[in-house]
Amino acid sequence: IEKDAEINNVPIISKEIREYLKFIIRTNKNIKNILEVGTATGYSGIIMSEEIQDRNGNLTTIEIDGDRFKIAQSNFEKSNLKGIEQILGDATEEIEKLNKTFDFIFIDAAKGQYKKFFEDSYKLLNEGGIVFIDNILFRGYLYKESPKRFKTIVKRLNEFIDYIYENFDSVTLLPISDGVMLVSKII
Ligand code: SAM
């Protein structure tokens, strides 16, 4: 999947994020059910699903692009992992339709929609659960002059970060890779 991502320009999580995801899920034994927003070709989904196999956990993962959805389907089949449910559709509509709750939510899709993804999925987060938001620092553009074409995304990300700090209590922003924000639901 890594090679294919490089050749076909599929944006997948960095090595640092991969290891940090594994670390968090492995050390939080209560994480069983995971929601991923942004499947792409299934790379991060496989990494997370591996960690919850011996907990009988489930991964629900949403992707908007039909071609990527199919590639992910084939990769998941090859992986022989249990408990993976794929959803093809726009997460701004699909999360609201879900009828389950999660211990861990990984947001890794369109940055302009982070607030919507977050608000919809946080409602489904179990107490003690964690939302992990990738690429929150967007190549550092949040703290320096950004190219014109990125202005809207940067504005939206800044607003999103302010919204999180103003409304939630247990928040961390880490400069790992392209920036990670963690929000937990306090028990
Ligand atoms: N998590 C993947 C991994 O590391 O293997 C990478 C995900 S990639 C950065 C972002 C993906 O989100 C893309 O495949 C894109 O098509 C998808 N996406 C963007 N907007 C979306 C939306 N509104 N709903 C669902 N998927 C979306």
127 alpha carbon – ligand 1 mean position (Å): 26
SS3 177: coil
Q: Which helix (H) or strand (E) holds 40?
A: none
15 alpha carbon – ligand 1 mean position (Å): 17
Reference 126, options 6, 23, 28; nearest CA is: 28
What pLDDT, on the 0 to 100 scale, is given for residue 139? 75
Q: CA-to-CA distance for 105 and 124, rounded, in angstroms?
A: 9
| Residues constituting the chain | 187
Q: CA-to-CA distance for 36 and 45, rounded, in angstroms?
A: 7
- What's at 99, amino acid-wise? N
Atom of ligand 1 nearest to the CA of 65: 16
Tokens linked to 21: 């995801």
3-state helix, strand, coil in the chain (%, to 5): 50, 20, 30
What pLDDT, on the 0 to 100 scale, is given for residue 1? 96
Q: What is the pLDDT along the chain (187 residues), one digit of tens a residue?
A: 999 999 999 999 999 999 999 999 999 999 999 999 999 999 999 999 999 999 999 999 999 999 999 999 999 999 999 999 999 999 999 999 999 999 999 999 998 999 999 999 999 999 999 999 999 988 777 767 777 888 888 889 999 999 999 999 999 999 999 999 999 998 6
Residue 110 CB: number of other CB atoms within 10 A? 17
What pLDDT, on the 0 to 100 scale, is given for residue 149? 80
What pLDDT, on the 0 to 100 scale, is given for residue 21? 98
Testing ligand 1's pocket by substitution, the residue of 35, 48, 63, 156 carrying the most ligand atoms inside 8 A of its CB is 63
Q: CA-to-CA distance for 105 and 79, rounded, in angstroms?
A: 21
Pocket lining: 90 vs ligand 1, CB cutoff 6 Å: yes
What pLDDT, on the 0 to 100 scale, is given for residue 143? 66
Pairing of strands 125-134, 180-184: antiparallel
Pocket lining: 59 vs ligand 1, CB cutoff 6 Å: no
Q: CA-to-CA distance for 71 and 90, rounded, in angstroms?
A: 17
- What's at 1, amino acid-wise? I
State the Rg of the chain over Cα: 16
